């Protein structure tokens, strides 16, 4: 089994669309009047959810003329947010065929199919022309990619001169053994964490110039504290959420990720770069 096949298997659900439909029914949300806000609990598979997405996207200077690439788009939640908030055209690519098929259905449900195209494929060998996009982003993607230089080389190819690239990934804070499973990997075999300095070096080597860097550790800890308190107050998770994706492994994966952050082993970091 190749690394990409192993990564894709990590995210396999097997009945994801049906699970989302069932959760929406329990919430009393008819598909005919669904909004992107209704899908947000399951759409944002990264630390901080929609709050983190809103802050991150503001740094990309998006508008209706933006041709945006969502690398590792998952269900396309961030793509739907961008299309709705900024009227941009968004193309997404992801290793998980199930996520892509489900995501395209969700785009139809919220009537954003004309602005968004999600397709199955590898970010390391993308089926896009040179200079096809003027914006790109990765949200919690690099942890599953060993060769950061290769992904940034491919991004450099498909981005136009002057294009902005945003990265929001979990990165290595210091050396030490992580506790697994975590949301992006069940074992070390598919976890490829790098430090912010290693990201910056790979970006520089491939022709990108770093514009801004933000350590989001404090935000992450506060986010998880609030999430835990809210879940406890309501006597359990809501019908729709990240547990819909991770199923019975949710508690262990989230708990381990929090512990790894609190132990200063990992940290969520934002990087904004520009193609020179």
How far apart CA 156 and CA 135 sit, in angstroms, is: 11
d(CA 215, CA 243): 26
Token duo for residue 264: 């200063």
Q: What is the pLDDT of residues 222-251, one digit of tens each?
A: 999 998 898 899 898 999 999 999 999 999
Q: Count Cβ atoms within 10 A of the Cβ of residue 17 and give its class: 0-12 exposed, 13-18 middle, 19 or more buried.
A: middle
- pLDDT tier at 76, thresholds 50, 70, 90: very high
Domain that holds residue 27: 3-275
Residue 119's pLDDT is 98
**Element containing residue 90 per DSSP (H, E):** strand 89-94
Q: Which two tokens stand for residue 200?
A: 């910056």
Q: How many domains does the chain have?
A: 1
CATH number for the domain that contains residue 209: 3.40.50.150
As a whole number of angstroms, the longest Cα–Cα distance in the chain is 51
Across the beta sheet with 67-71, what order do the strands follow?
A: 116-120, 89-94, 67-71, 133-139, 159-172, 266-275, 208-215
Whether the model clears a pTM of 0.75, i.e. scores above it, the answer is yes
């Amino acid at each position: 089994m190749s690394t990409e096949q192993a990564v894709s298997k990590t995210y396999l659900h097997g009945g994801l669309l049906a699970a989302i439909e069932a959760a929406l029914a329990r919430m009393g949300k008819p598909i005919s009047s669904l909004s992107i806000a209704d899908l947000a609990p399951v759409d944002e598979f990264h630390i901080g959810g929609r709050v983190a997405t809103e802050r991150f996207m503001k740094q990309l200077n998006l508008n209706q003329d933006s041709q945006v690439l969502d690398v590792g788009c998952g269900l396309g939640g961030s793509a739907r947010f961008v299309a709705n908030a900024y009227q941009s055209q968004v193309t997404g690519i992801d290793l998980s065929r199930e996520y892509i098929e489900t995501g395209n259905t969700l785009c139809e449900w919220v009537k954003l199919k004309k602005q968004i195209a999600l397709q199955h494929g590898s970010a390391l060998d993308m089926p896009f022309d040179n200079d096809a996009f003027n914006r790109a982003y990765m949200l919690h993607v690099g942890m599953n990619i060993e060769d950061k230089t290769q992904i940034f080389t491919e991004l450099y190819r498909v981005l136009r001169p002057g294009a902005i690239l945003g990265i929001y990934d979990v990165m290595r804070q210091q050396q030490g053994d992580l506790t697994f499973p975590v949301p992006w990997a069940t074992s070390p075999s598919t976890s490829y964490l790098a430090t912010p300095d290693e990201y910056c070096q790979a970006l520089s080597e491939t022709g990108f110039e770093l514009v801004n860097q933000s350590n989001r550790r404090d935000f992450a800890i506060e986010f998880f504290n609030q999430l835990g308190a809210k879940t406890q107050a309501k006597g359990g998770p809501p019908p729709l959420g990240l547990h819909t994706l991770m199923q019975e492994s949710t508690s262990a994966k989230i708990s381990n990720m929090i512990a790894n952050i609190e132990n200063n082993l990992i940290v969520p970091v934002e990087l904004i770069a520009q193609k020179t």
